[in-house]
Amino acid sequence: MRRHRNVKIVATLGPASSEYDTIRALFEAGADVFRLNMSHGSHADHKARYDAIRKVEADLGRPIAILADLQGPKLRVGVFDGDEAELTEGQKFRFDLDDAPGDAARVQLPHPEIFAALEPGSQLLVNDGKIRLKVEDCGKDFANCVVTVGGTISNRKGVNVPDVVLPLAALSDKDRDDLEFACELGVDWLALSFVQRPEDMDEARKLAKGRAAVLAKIEKPAAVRAFPEILAVSDGIMVARGDLGVELPVQSVPPIQKRLVRQCRAAAKPVIVATQMLESMIESPVPTRAEVSDVANAIYEGADAVMLSAESAAGQYPIEAVQTMDHVARSVETDTTYREVIEASRKADRNTVADGIVAAAREIAETTDIQAICAHTQSGTTVSLVARERPRTPIIAMSPIPTVLRRLCLTWGTHCVATEPLSRFREAVITAARAARDFEFADETQQIVVTAGVPFNTSGTTNILRVATCDERLISRADPE
């Protein structure tokens, strides 16, 4: 089963997409990665979905990536007498640690860490920014505010603090339990929420112990400011535009998205653009034109993946949502403007032999009649470097390690194929030629580029590039035992 596009599709599973038949239909419609949202559902629910995904993988013989998205600490107000209160612009309002029910003058904010970080002039946003307050005076257990945008405030609504770096760990106790559960289950990727600084990634990586790759969700202004440092210690990135749009002016999110995607591409690390991509398809079988343009723009920017959240997890049209993304991607990627944009934004420092090999592979593939770049890899690094080049020619990622192939399912342009461990370069060429033929990238009369490393089955040794025919008889003559 070959995808006729390069960008990958991440589909979130939930009540609307928990059964084997639906998950298989989502994969066949175009989903490459399935997201388990640890904010919702029990461990038993997620295990059942995981098992169904792995059964689809076994039945169809194609690697599938699974991403577990950790919830992160949730900051919420307390409860109100009567469940809610009305705040008006210009009025005074107080947050404190008193657990007595709130009213129109005050409410509990059971997070002393917030009070420790606040300063006069800081903003507090409630209920996704629908209510906004400005701090006038604060201490270790209170904040006296003035309401700048009023509305109805009700029990346990979420609170955002965009102006300060909060002294909170990105992993809550629940997240630690979820992380261990997900790693034991065998997920391929972990997404860490509430990242503010590079140090936030340290604990997650330490707890994962290499069992899963860890990506940082960029959803706070502090993370945008520290992005180069966060990127350096992350295996990938998710641009979570929903929360960014709450804590930052909405007009600043598109340029931030473009900037972060380009930096990820330069670093050869996969980047997912997420949140509200086809939101109307939760209830409608067709998206709005604005949503289609939003998805298309992420693809034009060169994002590795675009993500569906509630559209596939709880919506009425999960399969149609995946099909829509697939159709948009195919349309964009066949547009001549797409190649112009992608190639004009190609920027990478090339300092290693592997960098030179993959750059040469792209140049050869694009200037001669080459049907695919076949990259043998032990860790996935070589394939990531090939994908960074964003070649016009398809990429076949080849490895004997299932976990490497599954993680690469998130990487732009990769068609992942399982191989046996190699002992000589002729085996590498023959295996690549067979894969190119089997998946209809080339026929016996056509050529491919093969990259590999000697010694074989060792990470970080990519040092050979070969242009080869897909006719095994000619390979045998050229490379005798």
Q: Report the pLDDT value the prediction gives residue 457, as an integer from 0 to 100.
A: 73
The yes-or-no answer on residue 76 being catalytic is yes
Q: Looking at the predicted structure, is the pLDDT value of residue 473 above 90? A: no
Q: Report the pLDDT value the prediction gives residue 468, as an integer from 0 to 100.
A: 93
Q: Looking at the predicted structure, is the pLDDT value of residue 432 above 70? A: yes
pTM of the full structure: 0.94
Q: Report the pLDDT value the prediction gives residue 476, as an integer from 0 to 100.
A: 67
Residue of 54, 74, 76, 176 marked active site = 76
pLDDT bin (cut points 50, 70, 90) of residue 478 is low
Q: Report the pLDDT value the prediction gives residue 479, as an integer from 0 to 100.
A: 61
Yes or no: say if 23 and 56 are a contact pair by the CB < 8 Å rule. yes
pLDDT bin (cut points 50, 70, 90) of residue 178 is very high
pLDDT bin (cut points 50, 70, 90) of residue 305 is very high
Q: Looking at the predicted structure, is the pLDDT value of residue 481 above 70? A: no
pLDDT digits (tens, 9 = 90+) for 114-158: 999 999 999 999 999 999 999 999 999 999 999 999 999 999 999
Give every CB contact of residue 427 below 8 A, 6+ residues apart in sequence: none
pLDDT bin (cut points 50, 70, 90) of residue 455 is confident
pLDDT, the chain, mean: 94
Least confident of 9-13, 89-93, 177-181, 476-480: 476-480
The yes-or-no answer on residue 217 being catalytic is yes
Residue of 3, 106, 132, 217 marked active site = 217
pLDDT bin (cut points 50, 70, 90) of residue 425 is confident
Q: Report the pLDDT value the prediction gives residue 21, as an integer from 0 to 100.
A: 98
Share of the chain above pLDDT 70, in %: 98
pLDDT bin (cut points 50, 70, 90) of residue 456 is confident
> What domains does the chain contain, in order, with CATH numbers?
8-72+169-335 (3.20.20.60), 84-160 (2.40.33.10), 353-478 (3.40.1380.20)
Across the range 363-387, mean pLDDT stands at 94
Q: Report the pLDDT value the prediction gives residue 106, as an integer from 0 to 100.
A: 97
Q: Give phi and psi for 70, each to the nearest 5.
A: -75, 145
The yes-or-no answer on residue 477 being catalytic is no
Across the range 175-197, mean pLDDT stands at 97
pLDDT digits (tens, 9 = 90+) for 328-350: 999 999 999 999 999 998 876 77
Q: Looking at the predicted structure, is the pLDDT value of residue 462 above 90? A: no
Residue of 24, 35, 269, 388 marked active site = 35
pLDDT digits (tens, 9 = 90+) for 377-419: 999 999 999 999 999 999 999 999 999 999 999 999 999 999 9
pLDDT digits (tens, 9 = 90+) for 214-243: 999 999 999 999 999 999 999 999 999 988
| Residue 204 CB neighbours (<10 A) | 25
Q: Token pair of 190, please? A: 């972990």
Q: Token pair of 269, please? A: 């690390």
Q: Looking at the predicted structure, is the pLDDT value of residue 80 above 80? A: yes
Q: Looking at the predicted structure, is the pLDDT value of residue 48 above 70? A: yes
Residue that the structure tokens 């409630």 belong to: 126
Q: In the chain, what's the furthest Cα-to-Cα distance?
A: 86
Least confident of 150-159, 247-256, 281-290, 450-459: 450-459
pLDDT bin (cut points 50, 70, 90) of residue 84 is very high
The yes-or-no answer on residue 94 being catalytic is no
Across the range 55-69, mean pLDDT stands at 97
pLDDT digits (tens, 9 = 90+) for 199-208: 999 999 999 9
Residue of 132, 157, 269, 275 marked active site = 275
